[in-house]
Amino acid sequence: MENPGAGRFAPSPSGELHFGNLRTALLAWLFARSTGRRFLLRVEDLDRVRARAEESQLRDLAAVDVTWDGEVVRQSERGELYTAALDRLVADGRTFECFCTRRDIAEAASAAHGPVPLYPGTCRELSEEERQEHLRERPAALRFRSGGGTERFTDAVAGDHEGPVDDVVLRRNDGAVAYNLAVVVDDAAQGIDQVVRGDDLLPSTPTQLRLGRVLGFAPPSYAHVPLVLGPTGKRLAKRDGAVTLTDLAAEGLTAGAVRDALLRSLALPEGPLEQALAAFDPARLPREPWVFTGTLG
């Protein structure tokens, strides 16, 4: 393959990875390697206050056999790319200033109908007089003037999907770049043409596709994989007990044993990931969440 492209895993270093995160990382690795792609690792550390767990995350990924190509990329070091993209969007009239608080948005969303709460458009068409009045009270965030409507795509796991496009925040009112802009810019800049991630991010994909198209980027392929849920049916978290490699090691489980349990949950052979790679078939992946019942042993 002349230009194989790349897949990626992009954790936020806000804490230790739990085995649900590691399961998604395994899947992203398998999708990329099975298609001859490079596999890249990006640390999404835009929130520098909470970004403290990078070292332990990299150690845990390596412990379950996830390898990556090249150097680790950190979003905190890529500000010039985001500024350039924002400047293009502003110049093209694809942004607007927003002065809504989180409470404003929540109250408007509670009154809206539909499965996905969308920005209600409160600040989309402010007059200059209204804008100046708001600026005297608080700085503005910068939102994407998306044009609304929907975007359609075919997901390798979820199948054909169509969802609404939102006027998401691109730059917060404290000047920090927002996730939706950074992830689209980074994937394009790194040559990532395959995105494998948890299916909780499926609703954000139509907006990211639209944003990428406006910026002139080729759309990646997507595979949104089912999450691991805790015993109560909620997304796995530390409240569910021993869920990190550190916790599980204290119970006598090695990283290899955790890797093997995750592979079993995917109906793949245990052992080194190269063995699972030989048997990997996206069409045979479970389509339902894996429910953790309290033990991996």
Binding residues: 8-12, 44, 98, 100, 119, 123, 179, 197, 238
Binding residues for ATP: 238
Three-state secondary-structure class, residue 52: coil
Helix runs in the chain, H state only:
19-34, 54-63, 79-91, 102-111, 128-135, 179-189, 205-214, 245-250, 255-265, 273-279
Neighbours of 159 (CB within 10 A): 8
Q: Which of 70, 73, 64, 74 is nearest to 30 (CA)?
A: 64
Distance of CA 164 to the CA centre of its chain: 18
Phi, psi of 143 (to 5 degrees): -110, 160
Neighbours of 80 (CB within 10 A): 8
Task: Give the helix/strand (H/E) hosting 197.
Answer: strand 194-198
Binding residues for Zn(2+): 98, 100, 119, 123
Whole-angstrom distance, CA of residue 251 vs CA of residue 295: 10
Q: Which of 102, 78, 88 is nearest to 176 (CA)?
A: 78
Whole-angstrom distance, CA of residue 45 vs CA of residue 53: 10
